[in-house]
């Protein structure tokens, strides 16, 4: 069935360098790794990363420094405060975007998957409150830190690239020497220097073809050093990116959790109020009316003997009977909305029931060898219900696929729920409040919701939840 879950396209990964070294002594393997390093896939990727990274890092650094420095300078003065603060806010939002760009580059070239920090949530309230929230956006400040640290990194990357370039150039000396350096015998030629990475002065020179061979050996040495230098610089970059562009430090995490908890409490209070209102306006009213009708009917029937008004009593009992049946229907709906009873049996069963009630044909595939905790099952169920309702209402789809599976990775297992329809597409969490609400609910247990819905469809929405809240 729907084989379009994003995770299905697991990217093929090249083997780590040296991982397939054949048998032999340890020193032999080490030597093989050292010699093989320049030719490994990893080295090529890292060189490519440096090539992309140097200009990108410099540009980001320049942009940030260029706005940040004057903003900070101006913000201190009385007059310039507003301008300075606006400048800082601008830098912060640029830094967040740059952070995203750097994360994507790292994911693309280094296969370094860094989770994005919590998106910035604009709080409701006055401009001061919003400004304050912006200025306290730790993820953005960390992104600024990373962007500025790219400057020394860019130097390191540049150096690594220089080792590669000079090494290759030096290696070529013996090839072109006979073409250009073919003087008549006896003519004195000034020595030619080997290409040397910039901070080092050139110290290898050649005056003859034999000398050029020496240069070539020097180049080979540079090339042997280059991959390890590159790896060092890139590893430092990886570490910085992970710690500065990721979801954040412990304290940041605590703050995010506090926010999530506050939202959760708000949501549950709102839900309770909704239930209270539904009961108050619905079943309670019906029961009151029913009791009243029965009370009146009792009166009409009299205490004993011949009832004074049988006809009227019958009508009243009829009305009470009808009211009781309506109250039952209403309560059943309400109960289902709070917690669908079938969920006790399992998520797969609940999804199948959900599908059975849909106006558009739904295919369900569920592969759930373990059961997530009840809270997670409930969230998954309500996500599916909401997404199904959305698809039915907005997409104009002819077919909906729901999948639920457990994805095991080394460290943890996640429940992945996919809802895919062949409708019009164009679903956007930023616009529809329903999707944003779901995102919040999923986020409250550290889950993720991703939407792929190009105009014209199809829409694929994936919800990933931990196995326990």
Q: Are 119 and 97 in contact (CB under 8 A)?
A: no
Residue 64, exposed/middle/buried by CB under 10 A (0-12, 13-18, 19+)? Answer: buried
CB nearer to other proteins: pick between 261 and 321: 321
Is 454 a binding residue for other proteins by CB under 8 A? The answer is no
In angstroms and rounded to an integer, the radius of gyration of the C-alpha atoms of the chain is 34
Is 363 a binding residue for other proteins by CB under 8 A? The answer is no
| Displacement of CA 134 from its chain's centroid (Å) | 21
Q: At its nearest, how many Å lie between other proteins and the CB of residue 375?
A: 17
User: How many other C-beta atoms lie within 10 A of the C-beta of residue 353?
Assistant: 16
How far are the Cα atoms of 108, 246, 336, 343 from residue 103, in angstroms, in the given order? 8, 9, 43, 39
Q: Tell me the number of residues near other proteins by CB under 8 A.
A: 21
Is 341 a binding residue for other proteins by CB under 8 A? The answer is yes
Binding mask 68-107 for other proteins (x = CB under 8 A): ----------------------------------------
How many residues can be counted in the chain?
Answer: 469
Site for other proteins in 292-321 (CB under 8 A): 321
Site for other proteins in 272-291 (CB under 8 A): none
Q: At its nearest, how many Å lie between other proteins and the CB of residue 462?
A: 24
Q: Which element (helix H / strand E) includes 176?
A: helix 173-180
Is 430 a binding residue for other proteins by CB under 8 A? The answer is no
Is 325 a binding residue for other proteins by CB under 8 A? The answer is yes
234: alpha, beta or left? (left if phi > 0; alpha if psi -120 to 50)? alpha
Residue recorded with tokens 């295919």 = 363
User: How many other C-beta atoms lie within 10 A of the C-beta of residue 93?
Assistant: 15
List 112, 299, 349, 405, residue binding other proteins (CB under 8 A): 349
Is 399 a binding residue for other proteins by CB under 8 A? The answer is no
User: How many other C-beta atoms lie within 10 A of the C-beta of residue 204?
Assistant: 19
| Displacement of CA 351 from its chain's centroid (Å) | 26
Contacts of 383 (CB under 8 A, 6+ apart): 417, 419, 438, 441, 442, 449, 463
CB nearer to other proteins: pick between 198 and 357: 357
Q: At its nearest, how many Å lie between other proteins and the CB of residue 348?
A: 10
Q: At its nearest, how many Å lie between other proteins and the CB of residue 317?
A: 12
Contacts of 166 (CB under 8 A, 6+ apart): 194, 195, 196, 197, 219, 222
List 78, 356, 409, 455, residue binding other proteins (CB under 8 A): 356
Is 358 a binding residue for other proteins by CB under 8 A? The answer is yes
Is 352 a binding residue for other proteins by CB under 8 A? The answer is yes
List 30, 335, 375, 389, residue binding other proteins (CB under 8 A): 335
Q: At its nearest, how many Å lie between other proteins and the CB of residue 395?
A: 18
List 172, 193, 353, 392, residue binding other proteins (CB under 8 A): 353
Using CB under 8 A, list all residues that contact other proteins: 321, 324-325, 328-329, 332, 335-336, 341-342, 344-345, 349, 352-353, 355-359, 361
């Amino acid at each position: 069935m729907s084989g379009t879950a994003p995770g299905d396209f697991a990217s093929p990964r090249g083997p780590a360098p040296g991982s397939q070294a054949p048998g032999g002594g340890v020193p032999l393997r080490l030597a093989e790794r050292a010699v093989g390093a320049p030719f490994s896939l990893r080295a090529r990727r890292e060189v490519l990363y440096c090539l992309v990274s140097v200009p990108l890092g410099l540009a980001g650094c320049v942009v940030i420094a260029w706005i940040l420095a004057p903003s900070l300078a101006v913000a201190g003065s009385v007059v310039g405060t507003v301008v300075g603060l606006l400048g800082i806010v601008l830098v912060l939002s640029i830094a967040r975007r740059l952070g995203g760009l750097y994360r994507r580059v790292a994911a693309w070239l280094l296969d370094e998957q860094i989770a994005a920090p919590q998106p910035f949530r604009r709080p409701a309230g006055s401009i001061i409150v919003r400004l304050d929230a912006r200025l306290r956006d730790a993820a953005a400040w960390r992104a600024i830190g990373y962007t500025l640290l790219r400057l020394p990194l860019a130097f390191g990357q540049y150096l690594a690239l220089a080792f590669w370039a000079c090494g290759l150039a030096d290696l070529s000396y013996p090839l072109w020497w006979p073409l250009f350096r073919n003087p008549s015998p006896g003519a004195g030629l000034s020595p030619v220097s080997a290409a040397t990475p910039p901070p080092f002065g050139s110290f290898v020179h050649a005056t003859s073809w034999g000398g050029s061979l020496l240069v070539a050996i020097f180049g080979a040495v540079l090339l042997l050093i280059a991959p390890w230098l590159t790896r060092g610089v890139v590893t430092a970059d990886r570490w910085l990116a992970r710690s500065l562009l990721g979801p954040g430090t412990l304290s940041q995490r605590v703050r995010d959790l506090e926010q999530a908890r506050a939202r959760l409490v708000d949501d549950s209070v709102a839900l309770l109020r909704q239930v209270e209102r539904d009961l108050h306006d619905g079943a309670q009213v019906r029961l009151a009316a029913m009791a009243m009708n029965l009370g009146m009917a009792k009166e009409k029937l009299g205490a004993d003997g011949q009832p004074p008004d049988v006809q009227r009593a019958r009508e009243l009992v009829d009305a009470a009977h009808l009211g009781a049946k309506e109250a039952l229907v209403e309560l059943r709906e309400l109960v289902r909305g709070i917690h669908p009873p079938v969920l006790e049996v399992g998520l797969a069963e609940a999804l199948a029931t959900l599908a059975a009630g849909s106006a558009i044909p739904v295919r369900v595939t569920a592969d759930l060898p373990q059961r997530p905790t009840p809270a997670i099952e409930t969230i998954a169920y309500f996500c599916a219900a909401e997404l199904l309702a959305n698809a039915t209402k907005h997409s104009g789809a002819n077919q909906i696929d729901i999948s639920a599976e457990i994805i095991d990775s080394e460290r943890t297992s996640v429940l992945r729920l996919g809802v895919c329809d062949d409708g019009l597409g164009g679903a956007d969490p930023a616009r529809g409040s329903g999707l944003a609400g779901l995102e919040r609910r999923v986020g409250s247990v550290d889950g993720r919701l991703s939407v792929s819905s190009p105009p014209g469809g199809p829409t694929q929405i994936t919800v990933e939840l931990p196995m326990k809240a």
